[in-house]
A and B are shown apart, each in its own frame.
Chain A
């Protein structure tokens, strides 16, 4: 599994005369585009003075850095335990409703963290259904009569984010358990190892690169979240960027905090590299995927316990949001016919589709560059390309706004002086800026999904094709591309779903009259009336579910799941 470290001889043997300059140039251009907003933010950061720093260092950074790290830690722990645990149960055991649950575990992915935060906030609030029921049950009269954990806290935010991001880990872990674990596990078991020992000593190490890949996505999603932490009042670095920028009017100070965040992003990416080092487990033959020994059947109480355990994360990450928004929607079903909502829906789907196609193409370009030129420099380039995913949407959006508007105005200036007409704001005045923002943001997602697909293919396929006289490009097009189709589809779907959910960059960059489901929800939420956005919220979840269901099919990988 993998081919991500330089020491792995995954790339093709160099053939004299083949330098693949085109591939390199292509990926350099992509990476430069991705780095444009980042560079802009850094430029703003260094252009500022350090007058904010005494305050930031003393009252803001230590606290918000600590909160951010704690949040990352909680979420990492939560998503690994839930994701890996669920994947293992589903793959290794049989119990009532297993197939349904295996599929439904992906559903929370359809819920954006900001919606989940709102739903959890409502559900666990003092006046929410849970505490109200508790009070009615035990006869409490006010909050001082009993203790209830506060959802508006670091652990609460961790719970919210974990509930909707654990499927990343679940999906990646599950694929590995399905594809690779079984054979080794069977060997270990015939040699007398107990199931738990097999899990911890054999399967977990084998699955580590995949789990880490899933976790890396989760961590970056946590780091870039603003909607959930803002709503729950958790003072992370992202939130500090906001208050520095908006309440103290210091864009430079905000950019400087964002630069601190970039350091964390780099650390995360390096940690991912380190954890995935020198891991090479390939399924030697594709047919192995279809040969599966029977699962261990859990009967009676244990089977029910397993089913119950798997239902819990689904209820949290999907059930609670559905319950909260469903209740509001019942009162305003007429909104489904609201032309504004309908238009928002179409716009969301359109933008997400364009973004998905574009992002997948660019990801393929990058991956092909690695395949052709396995050099540290190429690898570094591709790593850099994933940085957009970890940036908070607003920071990315702001960086893009400044740089794209500059490009627009420069183009306009040239056109005015040489051609005599104004081009206006080609990028920032249209939805192009949003497609660009989401592409930059979710390139990492597509790249990682396609890469893990490529890593699952035996390397000798490519080599065989080449030795039979195909050129590198022919081999890629005729052999690899068709085999990678599930992975490419996965990548496209992930990007689609995340673009539908994307909010903060969209709201900053959108042109007049441009309304997506997410901005519709937000306009209502920002005037304290999320209930009026409930229909759009449910539509976001529904729009995201369709591809998520599609996604879970190929990812489940086989018919006998």
Chain B
């Protein structure tokens, strides 16, 4: 696995401007061989432009893209060792499945026998055996996407680029394809680079995620780090759901820290944050990491909350909104200071959602390792 540490794509200070608009702003990052890399960001953040620059359809205004040790500045798309699965799939409508998948091999002059074998192998890989003679307009969107995948994989590229691969599929199929894509990547061992605006997609498939905001990398980390240790407010907010409160850092030592949040109360953390004392900071708290206190269970809850000094990591409020989602119930709670906080609660038993209702006064707590202090 030492080989897996090698960067296959090196992006060096790459910028792309369209007229006065800067789509990509001085991005540098390495994509490692064999990883499932995801570029995640809101629409218009520049992630697709970055992908298209790797494919060769756009040229960087500044900077350099190196694929497998070779500078790509003067290499046109048809000479790059990468292949792309387009958002619209771009399956050739006038060719059947076999001809679509074999297109690239035919172009590069591979012998007929080898084309037949490799096409069959690729179709098997994407579970499209038996569809050889179908025309694209006789296939569903999901099947066309498999054709596009096979058409790229059959070329055995060093890197497979996928532009919003799941955005056009319905929810059930999307969940299934997430697993299949990850499985496929594992099987073929090709580096996958995927663009998406869907954080679930990114978290479930990626080995590493680059969150892009306004043409810059906001954070580059494995999915769990992105969610549990967001680097800034943008990432905390974009990846998953979060409550963010402004506060002042009042205590910051190697093994503990405290933040005074006027909206939320006194926050205690069981680790240091290395921020300047008295600085303006933000505290991010995920809805699922807040426990609502059910009347009568108070004692047990207080026991659980004892990892913080008295009066810390506790809040009180009134339930103003509820949405029952089946597996969890989402509560909108107005804190005593007037601010709103979102709390989610798993429905561990069939009647859990009946524990609270609108206008209930509730108290809540969270563990000392749950809040994240953000400096920007």
Pairing of A with B: no
